[in-house]
Structure 1
Amino acid sequence: MDLHARRADSFGAQAEAYAEHRPDYPVAAIRWALEPLGTSERLDVLDLAAGTGKLTSGLVAEGHRVTAVEPNEQMLSELVRRVHDVRALPGHAEHIPLPDQTVDAVLVGTAFHWFDQEQALPEIARVLRPGGVLAAMWNEHARDVEWLSEFEQLSSTSVESQRQDPTGDMTNSSFSPIETRTFPHAHRRDSPEALIATVNTHSRMLVVDDEERAAINEKMLAFLRSRPETSNGPFDVPLRTEVFRSVRLSD
């Protein structure tokens, strides 16, 4: 199994930790993603590569009819345990288990970079109704915050981040030009250890050996205990949620 595949498959064993420690998505980002459809309506939304339901729960709270599709059995089980009033199905972005033109929107939370876009985009176009929305979003650390920028450098591993600008990958003749917007967000952490637990749910930490992971965790803990922003009590980790959206064109 190559490194990309290992990383994509690394989350299942950490499904409970992922659900507990990863941030959710801001309501403003979800509403903007769905804005072309008229956000006052109850929509049929597919959360693709839904993981443990971080984005799913936000969509359900907004009153939409949600189908969550996730390839990893452990992640999907955690989603079902934590998020109610949602249809949950095993499946891949490259082979979506839904009929043609049955959803108003396909949303992807911090997962689009795992897809084989050549296969996934036609599948997404297939299940979307004309005029439907494809939106991909990522939560990222706010790099203009000094302590967080330094912390991110300390938490780097021998495996590079998988995240990349998706605008080229999302370009397809079935979709309109991509629009993008960034939303401020925050992730409440109770302690330095809780933030380290979040970092440890990322694939770049999951696939390195135990010795490297332990050394990085030790560095992160020493740094967070030394900073006034994070050393005592609960603190917020400043985030930016990037959203990329495109509209399904009529055939």
Structure 2
Amino acid sequence: MTFSHALTDGERQRHSSSFGTAAGAYAAHRPDYAPEAVRWALAGAPGPRVLDLGAGTGKLTGTLLGLDDTLGATLGNPLDITAVEPDAAMLAELRRGLPSVRALQGSAESIPLPDGSVDAVVSGNAMHWFDMAVAGPEIARVLAPGGVLAGLWNVFDDATDWVAGLAEVTGPAAIGPRDVPAAWRIETAELHLPRTGADSPFHAPEQAEFPHGHRRTAESLVATLGTKAGVLVMPEDERSELLARARAHLAGHPATAEGEFTLPLLTSVLRVRRRP
């Protein structure tokens, strides 16, 4: 992912609005989220009403649905899931893939739900695009007292040598900073979460990481890289050159040259609770 705090406002808007141009590829090639990360994100929520905010094509929504039996039992009732997504093409993919889910067009800055109507707000690989000065109060508005807000991010685990090599040849546009796990220490919470403190509606943040994996081939991993915002906004010749370098690297490593392999990921979670 591209770390949005390093972008100008204009660049941030261009990056965040790029995904609709690749909505089908995003649905086909982006990973879901570690189930244990989602369980941790929702632990202590006061009820089963969950909003997936900036839901994209429904990657996190689908993980929530897959955990409905166990999470529903923990929270007292079957999950009541609503997805909200601003991009029409991404929303169309979500509705196509998950027709049973209530899916609404809207944004983190303008959530089309009543006050206090959800017990948890989750966001998968999207919260860094929010204008939190506006979105923070809006999220607090729709959250019930004691409700949970959690951002989840899948990041490449470059402790594996071929992933580290891939990061070297593609750069941060495709994978993110070189030292990806270290970038998600608790200090990063202030970059992505609403303001916390004594006069904030939110308690201090918590953070956790969970191992995850995504079954890929060399070609399908290249397709995944092609859905990253930093790659989508590149001029065509630069994008083609970057993806060709990735393809060559994967073809030259025995772990990834042939057949399927598991891309090692970490699902990193930042979580805050709304004050009662």
TM-score strictly above 0.5: yes
Which residue matches 1:83?
98
List alignment gaps of at least 5 residues for structure 2.
1-8, 69-78
Q: Please give the residue correspondences for 1:46-85 in structure 2 after superposition, counting only pairs within 5 Å.
A: 46-63=51-68, 64-85=79-100
Distance apart, 1:80 and its partner CA: 0.3
- Contact kept in structure 1, 2:218 and 2:250, CA below 8 Å: yes
Which residue matches 2:22?
14
List alignment gaps of at least 5 residues for structure 1.
none
TM-score after normalising by structure 2: 0.85
State whether structure 2 residue 165 is matched by structure 1 residue 150: yes
Distance apart, 1:161 and its partner CA: 4.7
Equivalent pairs, count: 246
Which residue matches 1:177?
204
How far apart, in 2, do the equivalents of 1:24 and 1:122 lie?
28
State whether structure 2 residue 131 is matched by structure 1 residue 116: yes
How far apart, in 2, do the equivalents of 1:62 and 1:221 lie?
34
Identity %: 44
How far apart, in 1, do the equivalents of 2:203 and 2:141 lie?
15
Distance apart, 1:178 and its partner CA: 0.6
Which residue matches 2:249?
223
Deviations 1:9-33 (A, max 9, x none): 1000100000000000011111001
- Contact kept in structure 1, 2:175 and 2:225, CA below 8 Å: no
State whether structure 2 residue 265 is matched by structure 1 residue 243: no
SS in 1 for 2:256: coil
Which residue matches 1:29?
37
Distance apart, 1:160 and its partner CA: 9.3
Deviations 1:195-229 (A, max 9, x none): 00000000100001111111111111111011011
The letter of the residue matching 1:89 is L
How far apart, in 2, do the equivalents of 1:80 and 1:242 lie?
26
Structure-2 change in CA distance of 1:201 and 1:160 (3 Å): closer
How far apart, in 2, do the equivalents of 1:2 and 1:50 lie?
22
- Contact kept in structure 1, 2:225 and 2:243, CA below 8 Å: no
> Which segment drifts farther, 79-88 or 104-113?
79-88
> Which segment drifts farther, 163-172 or 117-126?
163-172
Higher helix share: 2
State whether structure 2 residue 96 is matched by structure 1 residue 93: no
Which residue matches 2:5?
none
Distance apart, 1:151 and its partner CA: 0.2
Deviations 1:130-159 (A, max 9, x none): 010000010001121111011012112679
